[in-house]
Structure 1
Amino acid sequence: VAADPISTVEAHPDRHAKIPVPKDMYMDRQNSLGRDYSQLADRERHALALEKVDSEKLTSGPIIGGKLKAGVNAQDVTNPFDTTRVLGHVSEASADDIDAAIDAAARAQIIWDRKGGAGRAPVLRAMADALEADMDRLVALLSREAGKTLNDGVAEVREAADFCRYYAMLAERDFGGPQELKGPVGEINSLVLHGRGIFACISPWNFPLAIFTGQIAAALAAGNAVLAKPAEQTPLIAAEAVRLYYKAGLDANLLALVPGRGETVGAALVSHPGIDGVAFTGGTDTANLINRSLAARPGAIIPFIAETGGLNGMFVDTTALKEQVIDDVILSAFGSSGQRCSALRLLYVPNEAADALIEGLKGALAAQVVGDPTDPSTDIGPVIDADAKAALDAHLKRLKGDAKIIARAELPAGAGKGHLFAPTIAEIPTPDYLEREVFGPILHVCRYEPSKLKETASKLAQRGYGLTLGVHSRIEAFAEEVTRLVPAGNVYINRSIIGAVVGVQPFGGEGLSGTGPKAGGPYSLIRYASEKAISNNISAQGGDPALLNL
């Protein structure tokens, strides 16, 4: 060492000009703002926002042309942590509401599409600003309605804002005008992207703001209008997001909220002749139903963009740093109460290292705080509803019968008021024990013999999913081999397998896990658009003027 590095840094205390501040770290878009709940000021802002949300009578229902309609089949919306608490009410969109929304959207979409990417981008950036300005209220709503912990809520608002800014950038880049294509002398050839018409955006409850907002932002960026159907469990957050889009300057006729059940409102949207494309995030079985319904429609073949579940595994070898593995496994398996499609379901550990790693996981799980998601100290909140908890209880019963329960986290007093499920680690007897995704805070550990890595990995690959995959190793060849053996849209090496960042880790799977294109990636908007190639034989007008300027 030629010089003491500490002294060198101290001699130059100013920020290096080539290192961007966090806000500018992504270069092509502004980074989103966050919150730090270790700071008293942020905790106080959260408490005030929560108090205000709790004092309001929240309402959701069909919003068409910017106006809340009466709808049908009004129901209470309750808190998954305490189901005795009624947060608000929601009414379902009727067939007439859907028709009215499509009629209004069809007229507005033509004008919106003609604005081009540069004309649409400011609205999306204004939406990102509106989300950040309303962050404390949105985090409070996410905690109350979706059971999100505060840090998960902040991450979700940030992701929603990131989607808006990123898609605004793509709109300007890809929809800014004709793209010139090289051809022979005497011809001008170009490619133009434009909107398809009206998209139905069907979003899930596990990311009721980020995915809901992101689907809409992608469709709008490409020049479409949107009818958005949120998950049945989270209509209040969706209504808040729609109102923020209007506040950001979006023509209210371009975006309608149509809440309701999948078998009624969802089916009506998918079969409606006025819908020109469908974006869906949710279960694989539901995606297959939508796909079959679209295939049976008369008329034009329309695009179907689906992001579905995953049977996600992580492979560890004996060179991996144990402490790093434990941190990443706990976050990947139990973050968001295990209710992420990217969450870790299967942990494969070599026999030689298994006992020590399992002991570490037991200790780490015991340190997790399970409870009220509005409390800044809570690590893991409730699952979304009674059906979700019942499915986990049924799977736990199976595990107790033919697997080994390693550890379960403690539940707080009063847990019976809501849908808290004790996070669980179980050791399974064979690598093909799981046939499909178990959606919640259960981690399955499977020992393997390193000499049988290929056989073990093939058992996971044969299930047909392909969303996220994790590898922990200090040997590059091991990571490369696992990546080759197990199909996955997102591969994470020596880190957690959740928390994809817009524009940095474009998210989406293959096989049973989705159709693509990935959300938050450079190709996200292409399926929302139509392409038009224009070829002009200018020699027919007397020659190519470009030849005069060689």
Structure 2
Amino acid sequence: APFIAATSLIGGSAPHAPAVDVHNPAQLSQSVGSVVDATATDAANAVAMARASMRGWNDRGVDARAATIDRVAEAWESAHDELAALIVREAGRTMLDAHLEVREAIDFCRYYAALGRTQMRVHDLPGPVGESNQLRLTGRGVFVCISPWNFPLAIFGGQLVAALVAGNSVIAKPAEQTPLIAFRAVQLMHDAGVPREVLNLVLGRGETVGHALTSDTRIAGVAFTGSIATARSINRALANRDAAIGVLIAETGGQNAMIVDSSALPEQVTDAVVSSAFRSCGQRCSALRVLFVQREVADAMTTMIAGAMRELIVGNPADPRTDIGPVIDAEQLALLRQHRAWLRAHGRCIQECDLPSGLTGKSGGHFFAPIAYEIDAIGDLQSENFGPILHVVRYDKHELDRVIDAINTTGYGLTMGLHTRLDARVEHVIESARVGNLYVNRNIIGAVVGSQPFGGEGLSGTGPKAGGPHYLQRFCAERAVTINTAAAGGNVQLMTSDRPAAR
């Protein structure tokens, strides 16, 4: 595998500073590449570069911009295997997840390019005779796109291409854990025709370059995916500027729940629970955190889930047999271990999977085996636990409304699952649950671009949903144009039409 030396790309130029090695989270002794972090001065230079180039990019028109993004899709598709392999090595995702992520990133390109061609046309609006009314969409300015490490290409790329299609210039600030994937993706975007001064890459930590970018008075908005704490910090930084009111598009995770009643099919539930809670090592915004099971079937359901958990293979994500790879870094591993200690003291163990020998220590990685514990209430959890940990709560058959209220009371509203064969119950939950994505009789992960727009409400985000029909418009400014055509003697085009003269 090639060693990648990643740097920021500001107008195509790279700042010079000492490089730091980037290690494989599954095998810490393996260096995947190196990264040079940018400074606050570099971030300011990137804003200046992006600001100067925005008008020229916007003036190209949506057809030209969309065609460029279609070429980005082709470039990423040609580099599919290279990008997937890098996702495995740098982010610790399994081979299956990595290949699906590359596909999703390509889908975002094609979806937003097609959406732009339709939505950014000039729209004629009604009005009285002698008046023309039009609505036009245009880019807002400079957008800062801050993306997470758990989908280091799909979320990263989706933010960038939406902002670019809309006519904005962009500064990409990826998570510090996954700079190599971002660097390679942006290189391919530049090669595909995105101007280097329009798309700038700034690598570094959030408290330095991230803060410098989000507090800069010259930016028009921020697209962010990550924690609610960071989203609040960005929101404050934007609000504290003596500048135009900035746009914030945020997706911030959730305390995602699934409700299972006594009519549900046990095998279907088991498959949905295990994939939702443990696939991608539980490191998805959409992953299942709390399973509510009707008391009458709880013992049988949890026994079957525990059995399925014992079949999961924890190991090197480069091995196609692996189901569960590593968590991203030592900090995340420490948080999961801390919560496991709390569960051992306050919960009732359903299943703790074993770690195979050799996965930890100096030659190993950041591995955490899946666990499932029963707790008394969702309110016992103080925060989202971002890893392969499932919490189970039993409920009585007449307590469905209390369960829904408890889920809503958390303030989060990203994904939710329901397993039942009762149509009336499905409709009741649809009407009562305050979540962005509700899945019935299936797992709660893997939203499909264009079919299942993804994003939450409340503490889970601002909307609009990524991969949906309203996302692109949030990156746009709206301009209405009204012309008094009667002032020029009417619509002169009628005088030159090819229609035959009246007889």
TM-score by length of 2: 0.96
Shift of 1:103: 2.5
Question: 2:374 matched to which residue of 1?
Answer: 427
Shift of 1:302: 1.2
Alpha-carbon contact 2:93-2:280 (below 8 Å) kept: yes
Mapping of residues 273-352 of structure 1, within 5 Å: 273-352=217-296
Partner SS state of residue 142, structure 1 = helix
Question: 2:430 matched to which residue of 1?
Answer: 483
Mapping of residues 75-224 of structure 1, within 5 Å: 75-176=20-121, 178-224=122-168
- More deviation, 219-228/427-436: 427-436
Partner SS state of residue 93, structure 1 = coil
Question: 1:42 matched to which residue of 2?
Answer: none
Alpha-carbon contact 2:105-2:153 (below 8 Å) kept: yes
Higher relative contact order, structure no. (Cα contacts within 8 Å, ≥ 6 residues apart)? 2
Mapping of residues 53-72 of structure 1, within 5 Å: 53=1, 56-70=2-16, 72=17
Letter of the 2:41 counterpart: D
Q: Aligned partners of 2:18 and 2:290: how far apart in 1? A: 40
Letter of the 2:143 counterpart: F
Q: Aligned partners of 2:109 and 2:186: how far apart in 1? A: 13
Shift of 1:73: 5.6
Question: 1:246 matched to which residue of 2?
Answer: 190
CA displacement, residues 17-74 of structure 1 (integer Å, 9 cap, x when unaligned): xxxxxxxxxxxxxxxxxxxxxxxxxxxxxxxxxxxx2xx331112112223321x463
Alpha-carbon contact 2:47-2:213 (below 8 Å) kept: no
Question: 1:34 matched to which residue of 2?
Answer: none
Alpha-carbon contact 2:163-2:472 (below 8 Å) kept: yes
Partner SS state of residue 188, structure 1 = strand
Pick aligned residue for 2:170 from 217, 226, 243: 226
- Identity fraction in percent: 51
Shift of 1:546: 8.0
Q: Aligned partners of 2:329 and 2:142: how far apart in 1? A: 32
Alpha-carbon contact 2:135-2:480 (below 8 Å) kept: yes
4+ long deviations beyond 6 Å: 546-550
Shift of 1:112: 1.1
Q: What is the alpha-carbon root mean square deviation over aligned residues? A: 1.4
Q: Aligned partners of 2:456 and 2:353: how far apart in 1? A: 31
Cα distance change of structure 1 residues 73 and 272 upon mapping to structure 2, 3 Å threshold: farther
Letter of the 1:508 counterpart: G
Letter of the 2:98 counterpart: G
Q: Aligned partners of 1:100 and 1:373: how far apart in 2? A: 38
Mapping of residues 391-470 of structure 1, within 5 Å: 391-416=335-360, 417-470=364-417
Count of residues paired in the alignment: 494
Shift of 1:111: 1.4
Please say if 1:259 is aligned against 2:203: yes
Shift of 1:441: 0.3
Partner SS state of residue 371, structure 1 = coil
- More deviation, 465-474/125-134: 125-134
Alpha-carbon contact 2:63-2:117 (below 8 Å) kept: yes
Shift of 1:544: 4.4
Alpha-carbon contact 1:466-1:511 (below 8 Å) kept: yes
Letter of the 2:335 counterpart: A
Cα distance change of structure 1 residues 73 and 293 upon mapping to structure 2, 3 Å threshold: farther
Q: Aligned partners of 2:60 and 2:152: how far apart in 1? A: 29
TM-score by length of 1: 0.88
Partner SS state of residue 85, structure 1 = strand
CA displacement, residues 295-317 of structure 1 (integer Å, 9 cap, x when unaligned): 11002101011010100000011
Letter of the 1:408 counterpart: E
Structure 1: 5+ residue runs without aligned partners?
A: 1-52
Q: Aligned partners of 1:387 and 1:413: how far apart in 2? A: 22
